[in-house]
Amino acid sequence: MSDPSVSAAGILTAARRGQPDLARSLLARMIEEEFGFPVREVTLGADDYSLNSVNGFLTREDGERFFFKFHHEENEDSVLQEFYRGEILLEAGFPVDMPAYVCRRVGRQILLYPLRTIPKLADAARAVDRGHPLPGADDSALIEAQRDLDRLSTRIYLRTWHPITAAQSEEEPIHQLFHHRLTNPDSPAGILGGRAATFFAEDRRFAFPGLSVSGAELRRLRWVIDGVAYDRTLQDCLENALALLDPAVLAASGGVIAHGDAHNANVWFTPQNSEAGTAASLTFFDPAFAGRDIPALLAEIKATFHNIFAHPDWLYHSAELMSTPKITIRDGTAFVTTGWSLPPLRQAFLEDKGRLLWTPLLAALSELGALPETWRETIRAGLFCCPTLVMDLCARSESAPNSRHTPASSLTGLAVAMMCGAEPGPEEQDVVSRFLDAIDPSRI
């Protein structure tokens, strides 16, 4: 009988529990069992971007070095087909770094890439945010490279769009990032479960700067954020997401070939090479959730949130958050001052993502009769799920011992999530509502 700890789940658990030696040992055993070669050395990645995965470097006995990455998701064996279908993206024309070794066995799905020395786009972009660009990776180089990728992605989405059935939609692994985190496989329809029920359990305590609230109170608060009143509660946003992100419901927008999880820690940045006459460029890797039938309204959600609204610092580098948000609660309403705004690079990414990708995509869906009336709420629901379900937004405490959040980043994250999931009141706007207005096909 195989050892269940020698699995992606076992390795991820050991790494999260501060047992790096055990994690390295388990990983070396799994690599030798799956790929048939012994491992001399394993180095676990030290970046802050792997929220539900493990990455790092390993060296074979013959000295060859690799970059590795793997995921583990709850209920993986019951809700997923397989990860890592990078060949789908390559055939469609996306720039994809293909791995040297792939294991697709459920519970042991892992990629080994030849070692690269170029940076991830996440690191290059953060260096710009902090005012210290990497060589060849200043803001103009990153913006132009992202524009090229957005243009290419749009062309591929429009070329590969096709009607899909509810069954085809339900087969796509990308739903593990959204709907499967909102429910349990054996739960009745319409009942919140999964991470949503765990992260926002009514008996939890959420510590914010200066006060704490129960999960029950948090779910039912109204919100006024930076002077803007919002039209729904956290509970409303969770229930909207459960309904609108149902794989069968999303099938109405048709399907496209997409990476689905193209946050910048899954993208390599190659600087311009003047001697070779090549421009700066971006290349996908880790196509864990790639597919042929990804619902069109879901394809770019992760990239839009994680590369833009997750910055600066509050999601990935919460201990380095510079702003100090404030909260008071009166008569069931949370009044929050965030001190948060998008850095210039992320604002440029947002404007270009809207202009070059979302606007033509939504316009094409409208012309095809495949743009649901609920498209705006669906995009909001997807954006809302990114921060609330990717990791625990409850600050580290007895009820959240593995959380990476501080009280300040917890409050900032919840405020940004509510800005994504809820509409401002009449005559009011924020950065999310202005973005959605700008991509609305009816306003073009």
**Quick one: three-class SS letters along 2-43?**
CCCCCCHHHHHHHHHCCCHHHHHHHHHHHHHHHHCCCEEEEE
Q: Does residue 399 or residue 239 have the better pLDDT? A: 239
Q: Is residue 290 over pLDDT 70?
A: yes
Mean pLDDT across 167-181: 96
Q: What pLDDT sits at residue 7?
A: 81
Query: pLDDT by residue (tens digit) across 38-48?
Result: 999 999 876 66
Q: Tell me: do 292 and 424 sit in the same domain.
A: yes
Q: Is residue 75 over pLDDT 60?
A: no
Q: What pLDDT sits at residue 398?
A: 82
Q: How many domains does the chain have?
A: 2
Query: pLDDT by residue (tens digit) across 216-238?
Result: 999 999 999 999 999 999 999 99
- Tell whether 86 is covered by a domain: yes
**Last residue in a domain, options 114, 135, 159:** 114
**Last residue in a domain, options 88, 114, 140:** 114
Of all residues in the chain, what percent carry a pLDDT higher than 70?
Answer: 94
pTM for the predicted model, two decimal places: 0.92
Q: Tell me: do 82 and 184 sit in the same domain.
A: no
Token code pair at residue 371 = 């743009």
Q: What pLDDT sits at residue 160?
A: 98
User: CA-CA distances (angstroms) from residue 388 to 215, 398, 402?
Assistant: 13, 19, 15
Q: Is residue 321 over pLDDT 90?
A: yes
Q: Tell me: do 223 and 327 sit in the same domain.
A: yes
Burial of 83-113, coded b for 16+ CB within 10 Å and e otherwise, reads bbbbebbbebebbbbebebbbeeebbbbbbb
Q: Does residue 86 or residue 374 have the better pLDDT? A: 374
222-225 and 333-337 beta bridge pairing: parallel
Distance CA 341, CA 319 (A): 17
Full domain range(s) for residue 424: 121-439
User: Do 27 and 42 contact (CB within 8 A), yes or no?
Assistant: yes
Least confident of 77-91, 121-135, 188-202, 331-345: 77-91
Mean pLDDT across 198-205: 95
Query: pLDDT by residue (tens digit) across 128-150?
Result: 999 999 999 999 999 999 999 99
Q: Tell me: do 100 and 162 sit in the same domain.
A: no
User: Do 372 and 296 contact (CB within 8 A), yes or no?
Assistant: no
Q: Tell me: do 32 and 144 sit in the same domain.
A: no
Q: What pLDDT sits at residue 1?
A: 36
Q: What pLDDT sits at residue 79?
A: 37
- The average confidence (pLDDT) of the chain is 92
Q: Is residue 118 over pLDDT 80?
A: yes
Contacts of 27 (CB under 8 A, 6+ apart): 11, 39, 42, 54, 58, 68
**Last residue in a domain, options 114, 133, 151:** 114
**Nearest of 310, 279, 36, 9 to residue 149 by alpha carbon:** 279
Q: What pLDDT sits at residue 46?
A: 66
Distance CA 71, CA 346 (A): 27
Degrees, nearest 5: CA angle 114-116-122: 125
